Amino acid sequence: MPGKLKKRSSKKRTMRALSLSKFKKLVVPRPDVLHGYLRHDEINLYLEYLQNRYSFVHVKLLGQTYERRQLKAIEIDWNSERNLELTERERSRRPYSCAEKITALVPPEISNMHNKLLGRRNTIFIEGGTHAREWITISVALNCIYQLTEKHMRNYELLRKLRFIIVPVTNPDGYEYTLTKNRRWRKNRRPITHSRHIGTDCNRNYDFHWENGPSKTARNTFKGLKPFSEPETRAMRNILQQNEQSLLFFLSLHSYAECIMYPWGYCKELPETWQKLEKLALTGRNAIKAYNGRHYRVGSIAKLSKRCISGSVVDYAFGVIKVPLALVMELPSHALGFQPAAESISPIGHESWFGIREMCKVAYDLATPFFSMEEGNLTNRKNSDKEQPQPQSPIIKKQSLHDVVRPTIDTVAL
């Protein structure tokens, strides 16, 4: 009998060891995103880790670069169907506390339906790493991802209202080149046709006043042979076009001028809604100043940079995609350079998130709900109908939003 017991226990141990080894293969390790500069593969590994862990996270493959690196975006959507189903299951398994009963009166799906009925834009788009040497922009983008996922309970109210799409590394080839060969490299790594030079400035390659940009292939700001000649800018164009109806706020991260800027970059004129844009930029500036005293300058791109910048992603997002709010955030600082020391990464990331979070909150209330062309035509038709007398028709009482939502709220409350 003792021999049989020993054999059984040894079999159980081996089975446990095998199951653990299989489980370990499925577990994706978590890289340290807050205190160091990661390689491109490590960043994609972190995005995969978050997708495996959280039901409201989805990683999208946008395309491939010239050197066949994957360009990825992370979508953080608390109101996604998958997450709502899982949270509803979790609610049904355990009894409500008093606090949960109050929040359950207006669950996330009702808030989401409210946004749809109003036609409100609710997507925040953040991109970093367009210029290869600006490592700190990638770290700040990763800090934003960290705050919205691993620290999502701190930002729950923000996630209930807003959906986030973040591209942490827009120029993977150039970024990897700066890590291994030349820390000062700015452009991507695709060779220029009929030239001995390599690379195009991705922030000059968008089809918005592109023809006004510099055309010398040797320059750091070379705009490319034609608009969207680069795989990185085509990938960005595609995801912006796919989400153009829901985009509320576009934020492009750069360094190291320590300012928050709004369009236009291609000329010194200001857009019609410049006051809204300035109010949003001042919100971020004031939040960071209150957090640690750092002072950001605020103004238009052309004014603060003292030059005209054609074919930029911010001008394209604002002028072509028609995102209501679009800003450039130039991170700190001249003293620290494009690649601040490791001990500065976390402080800069946290202070930047403090400003970005406040801008996202204000953006939701600042941009008025948009209406489709059909609704606009209907309004024009109504105005023209008012001018001409029409025969009387029976009065039809329209159902208010409160009446639409109230039955669902009552059901949840019970």
Question: What pLDDT was estimated at residue 16?
Answer: 58
Q: Which of 330, 351, 358, 374 is catalytic?
A: 330
- Specify the range with the lowest mean pLDDT, choosing from 19-23, 42-46, 137-141, 355-359: 19-23
Indicate yes or no: pTM above 0.85.
no
Question: What pLDDT was estimated at residue 21?
Answer: 46
Q: In one letter, which amino acid is 302? A: A
Percent of the chain's residues with pLDDT above 90: 67
Percent of the chain's residues with pLDDT above 70: 75
Question: What pLDDT was estimated at residue 119?
Answer: 55
220, pLDDT greater than 50? yes
Does residue 351 carry a catalytic annotation?
A: no
**Confidence label for 215 from pLDDT (cuts 50, 70 and 90):** confident
Instruction: Compare 152 and 114 and report the one with higher pLDDT.
Output: 152
Kind of pairing between the strands at 259-262 and 325-331: antiparallel
**Confidence label for 88 from pLDDT (cuts 50, 70 and 90):** confident
Mean pLDDT in residue range 218-223: 94
**Confidence label for 162 from pLDDT (cuts 50, 70 and 90):** very high
Nearest to 135 by CA among 340, 327, 356, 349: 340
Instruction: Compare 102 and 95 and report the one with higher pLDDT.
Output: 95
Name the token pair of 322: 């028609």
Name the token pair of 304: 């603060």
387, pLDDT greater than 50? no
128, pLDDT greater than 80? yes
Question: What pLDDT was estimated at residue 395?
Answer: 40
The residues spanned by each domain of the chain are 40-366
Mean pLDDT in residue range 15-20: 53
200, pLDDT greater than 90? yes
10, pLDDT greater than 50? yes
CA–CA gap between residue 315 and residue 250 (Å, rounded): 10
Question: What pLDDT was estimated at residue 94?
Answer: 62
188, pLDDT greater than 80? yes
| Per-residue pLDDT tens over the stretch 330-385 | 999 888 999 999 999 999 999 999 999 999 999 988 865 543 333 444 444 444 44
**Spacing of C-alpha 12 from chain mean position:** 48
411, pLDDT greater than 90? no
C-beta separation of 252 from 229 below 8 A: no
Helices (H), 163-312: 172-180, 231-242, 274-292, 301-305
| Per-residue pLDDT tens over the stretch 53-71 | 999 999 999 999 999 999 9
Question: What pLDDT was estimated at residue 77?
Answer: 96
Instruction: Compare 212 and 41 and report the one with higher pLDDT.
Output: 41
**Confidence label for 7 from pLDDT (cuts 50, 70 and 90):** low
Question: What pLDDT was estimated at residue 308?
Answer: 93
Instruction: Compare 229 and 2 and report the one with higher pLDDT.
Output: 229
Q: In Å, how far are 99, 376, 384 from 381, measured between CA atoms?
A: 48, 9, 5
| Per-residue pLDDT tens over the stretch 262-321 | 999 999 999 999 999 999 999 999 999 999 999 999 999 999 999 999 999 999 999 999
Mean pLDDT of the chain: 83
CA–CA gap between residue 359 and residue 126 (Å, rounded): 12
Q: Work out whether the CA dihedral 352, 353, 358, 360 comes out positive or negative.
A: positive
* Residues constituting the chain: 414
Question: What pLDDT was estimated at residue 112?
Answer: 54
Q: In Å, how far are 86, 396, 411 from 83, measured between CA atoms?
A: 5, 38, 20
> What is the DSSP annotation of 12-55?
HHHHHHHHHHHHHHHPPP----SSSPPPHHHHHHHHHHHHHH-T
Question: What pLDDT was estimated at residue 85?
Answer: 84
407, pLDDT greater than 90? no
73, pLDDT greater than 90? yes
Nearest to 367 by CA among 26, 123, 188: 123
Question: What pLDDT was estimated at residue 371?
Answer: 39
CATH superfamily membership of 40-366: Zn peptidases (3.40.630.10)
